[in-house]
């Protein structure tokens, strides 16, 4: 059936990390979002968005911070109400359904913000992240910890707290502090490709690392301020210098 992977990583405009992805159980189906209008409270975050994710393919949804990528996945998953438009899963409109019904219809959403070990404290996470450091660097670990705490004050205040208790933004800081983003990102990308190729899932991948996303996607859609500004096969988007410069940050 249909799935979306929202994996927000790092791009030129700002670091971020974590994976937010959605997938479907069962066979392959086309997911067609047509003229979708949705918002977060008063803010109209999606202003008539049309995206088609072909059955069994990977579609990358790209765009700068605040473009509406997460809102699109949240709307598709029924986590926020849609105001107008259709969300067709194999010609079956699921717009306006609740999240449980949408999951049952075959759409699964894997939220971003992973990449830390929730059962460990902030400091334990950072120490684990430094375990691969070479011998000679070990003496620097304590200093490196203090450096990260100085950079991310909220982490210093929460160093003894479990990572599971952090807010989204704090967790994001921890992932960045860990310097894990590229590795986590590569693992998520591998998984997305495997889900698509081996299980025939329809994947919608939301990712700020446009270059990485386009490398594995079949098709790409670029959002800006809640509207689609480009939609083409991934190779075409990756080769568009002006588009890359204006919207994709690479």
Binding site for Mg ion (CB under 5 A): 69-70
By the rule CB under 6 A, 212 interacts with ligand ATP: no
By the rule CB under 6 A, 30 interacts with ligand ATP: no
By the rule CB under 6 A, 66 interacts with ligand ATP: yes
By the rule CB under 6 A, 136 interacts with ligand ATP: no
Question: Of these, 5, 32, 33, 67, which contacts ligand ATP (CB under 6 A)?
Answer: 67
CA-to-CA distance for 53 and 88, rounded, in angstroms?
10
Question: Of these, 25, 26, 35, 65, which contacts ligand ATP (CB under 6 A)?
Answer: 65
Beta strand pairing status for 82-89 and 31-40?
antiparallel
User: Is residue 159 classed exposed, middle or buried when 0-12, 13-18 and 19+ CB atoms within 10 A define those classes?
Assistant: middle
In the bound state with Mg ion, the residue whose beta carbon lies nearer, of 2 and 70, is 70
Write down the least CB distance from residue 112 to Mg ion, Å: 7
End-to-end Cα distance, the chain? 32
CA-to-CA distance for 115 and 93, rounded, in angstroms?
34
Number of residues that bind ligand ATP (CB under 6 A): 14
Write down the least CB distance from residue 30 to ligand ATP, Å: 23
In the bound state with Mg ion, the residue whose beta carbon lies nearer, of 76 and 145, is 76
- Under a CB-based contact definition with an 8 Å cutoff, are residues 24 and 106 in contact? yes
In the bound state with Mg ion, the residue whose beta carbon lies nearer, of 5 and 126, is 5
By the rule CB under 6 A, 63 interacts with ligand ATP: yes
Write down the least CB distance from residue 33 to Mg ion, Å: 16
By the rule CB under 6 A, 68 interacts with ligand ATP: yes
Long-range contacts of 176-180 (CB under 8 A, 24+ apart): 176/15, 176/16, 176/17, 176/152, 177/126, 177/129, 177/148, 177/151, 177/152, 178/115, 178/116, 178/125, 178/126, 178/129, 179/129, 180/17, 180/115, 180/129
Write down the least CB distance from residue 69 to Mg ion, Å: 5
- Under a CB-based contact definition with an 8 Å cutoff, are residues 27 and 200 in contact? yes
In the bound state with ligand ATP, the residue whose beta carbon lies nearer, of 29 and 217, is 217
Q: Which residues contact ligand ATP (rule: CB under 6 A)?
A: 8, 40-41, 43, 45, 63, 65-71, 208
């Amino acid at each position: 059936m249909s799935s979306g992977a929202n994996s927000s990583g790092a791009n030129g405009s700002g670091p971020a990390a974590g994976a937010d992805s959605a997938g479907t159980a069962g066979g392959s189906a086309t997911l067609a979002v047509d003229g979708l209008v949705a918002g977060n409270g008063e803010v109209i975050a999606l202003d008539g968005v049309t995206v088609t994710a072909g059955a069994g393919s990977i579609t990358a949804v790209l765009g700068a911070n605040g473009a509406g990528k997460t809102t699109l996945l949240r709307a598709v998953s029924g986590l926020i109400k849609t105001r107008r438009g259709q969300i067709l899963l194999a010609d079956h409109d699921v717009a306006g359904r609740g999240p449980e019904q949408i999951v049952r219809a075959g759409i699964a959403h894997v939220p971003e913000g992973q990449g830390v070990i929730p059962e460990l404290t902030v400091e334990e996470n950072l120490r684990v992240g430094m375990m691969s450091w070479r011998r000679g660097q070990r003496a620097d670990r304590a200093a490196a910890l203090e450096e990260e705490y100085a950079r991310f004050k909220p982490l210093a205040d929460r160093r003894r707290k479990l990572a599971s208790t952090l807010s989204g933004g704090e967790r994001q800081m921890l992932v960045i502090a860990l310097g894990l983003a590229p590795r986590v990102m590569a693992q998520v990308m591998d998984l997305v490709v495997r889900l698509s190729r081996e299980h025939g899932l329809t994947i919608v991948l939301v990712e700020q690392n446009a270059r990485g996303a386009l490398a594995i996607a079949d098709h790409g859609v670029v959002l800006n301020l809640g509207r689609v500004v480009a939609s083409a096969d991934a190779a075409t988007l990756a080769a568009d210098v002006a588009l890359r410069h204006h919207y994709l940050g690479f």
